[in-house]
Structure 1
Amino acid sequence: MNKKVHIFLFDGFSDWEISYLTPEINKSEKFEIVYFSKDGKPVVSMGGLKITPDISFAEVDANDIDLLILPGGVAWEKGENNELNQFTKNVFEKGKLIAAICAATSYLGQLGILDKVKHTSNDLNYLKAVAPQYSGESNYVNSSAVSDKNIITANGIASIEFAKEIFERICLFEKSDIEKWFQLFKNGIWSE
């Protein structure tokens, strides 16, 4: 049975932040990507891409998730995705892998999920401003992407680093092949 990668989509999500990782995961026979939205209805990305998700949030079973991906978008800063609060906490408490980028990191900060794991975001001051209840400052790492325990975080300009961290954690390819992929997309260098 394939492992399931659930990706939450919402109006205004930052489409480029998942654009490097989704094609590679989708090509794998080991994984199945499940796109979901609040109500299962089409959403429009920040870039204007209209997408019809596979299922609604109500149809998602936290037990079926192997990886939950939360792309960024200003909706997180506005508190527009709060119906996922208990669900996201449950996924975290079950030890399932959660990957968040850009403003979605502030969402994890608001939920207290970042308090005891190493993490990054767009900036520490940004995180503290957007998530006043956040208290994980001692675990903040000023880096493009960070993976610790069952949490992967990345800043908003690190979609390639975000993808790399995810690929490594889910063992999508051999480590040397992930590095080749990274060098190609990050630096335009291909090596055999």
Structure 2
Amino acid sequence: MKPTVYVFLFNGYIDWEVGYVMPGLIHSGKAKVQSFSLDGKKVKSAGGLRVKPDLAIDEVKVDENALLILPGGVPWEENKITGMDQLVKEFLEKGMAVGAICAATVFLAQLGVLDDMTHTSNGLKYLKQHAPDYEGESLYVDVPALQSGKLVTASGTSSVEFAREIFSLTHAYTEEELEEWYMLFRM
């Protein structure tokens, strides 16, 4: 059974941070990609794209084949997104995969998720600035993107690397295909 990849969309989400991962997963044919918002209503990205998500949050099914992707956006930094805590906790408690890029890593830090998992972000100082209770400094790695178990984190400048880690986690491509894809888009 194909994994379902749920991509959270909200007003102000950074559209280019999921601009490689979504079409790459769809093109692979090895995952079902569904977007969702809190209420299922249209959202506007930071780049001005108006998007009607496939689902509302209450339609997301947390099962053994699910993966949750959280794109960045200023609303994470400003604590303007409410209603995602429970879903993220449920994914993690059930051992499901979660991918967070850029400011979405702030949200994970605020939840305490990054306190005991290897991770990266936009910088250690950045995480500490936006998540004052963050205690995962010793597990922070200054790299573009990384996979730690079923958690993928990435810097906001690393959407290609983020996609590569998600593809690796989902086995969307063979190692050879993945390397070819990465070289094509990284150059």
**Equivalence for 1:183:** 183
**Equivalence for 1:149:** 149
Q: Does 1:99 align with 2:94?
A: no
Deviations 1:119-151 (CA, angstroms, capped at 9, x unpaired)? 000010110110111111100000100110111
* Residue identity matched to 1:113: V
**Equivalence for 1:51:** 51
**Within 2, Cα distance between the matches of 1:39 and 1:79?**
18
Q: Tell me if the contact between 2:124 and 2:137 (Cα under 8 Å) persists in the aligned partners.
A: yes
**Equivalence for 2:12:** 12
**Equivalence for 1:79:** 79
**Within 2, Cα distance between the matches of 1:62 and 1:80?**
24
**Equivalence for 1:190:** none
Secondary structure at the counterpart of residue 40 of structure 1 = coil
**Equivalence for 1:139:** 139
C-alpha RMSD of the superposition: 1.1
1:68, CA displacement in angstroms? 0.3
**Within 1, Cα distance between the matches of 2:139 and 2:177?**
30
* Residue identity matched to 1:121: S
1:65, CA displacement in angstroms? 5.5
**Equivalence for 1:30:** 30
* Residue identity matched to 1:35: S
1:2, CA displacement in angstroms? 2.4
Q: Tell me if the contact between 1:6 and 1:65 (Cα under 8 Å) persists in the aligned partners.
A: no
**Equivalence for 2:129:** 129
1:174, CA displacement in angstroms? 0.5
Q: Tell me if the contact between 1:4 and 1:64 (Cα under 8 Å) persists in the aligned partners.
A: no
Number of aligned pairs?
187
- 146-155 or 80-89: which moved more? 80-89
Task: Determine what percentage of the aligned residue pairs are the same residue.
Answer: 45
Return the TM-score normalized by structure 1.
0.94
Indicate the structure whose relative CO is greater, using CA pairs within 8 Å and at least 6 residues apart.
2
* Residue identity matched to 1:152: V
Unaligned runs of 5+ in 1: 188-192
Secondary structure at the counterpart of residue 62 of structure 1 = coil
Q: Tell me if the contact between 2:36 and 2:56 (Cα under 8 Å) persists in the aligned partners.
A: yes
**Structure 1 runs of 4+ off > 6 angstroms?**
none
Deviations 1:37-80 (CA, angstroms, capped at 9, x unpaired)? 01100000000001000111122222376210000000111112
* Residue identity matched to 1:125: K
Return the TM-score normalized by structure 2.
0.97
1:6, CA displacement in angstroms? 0.2
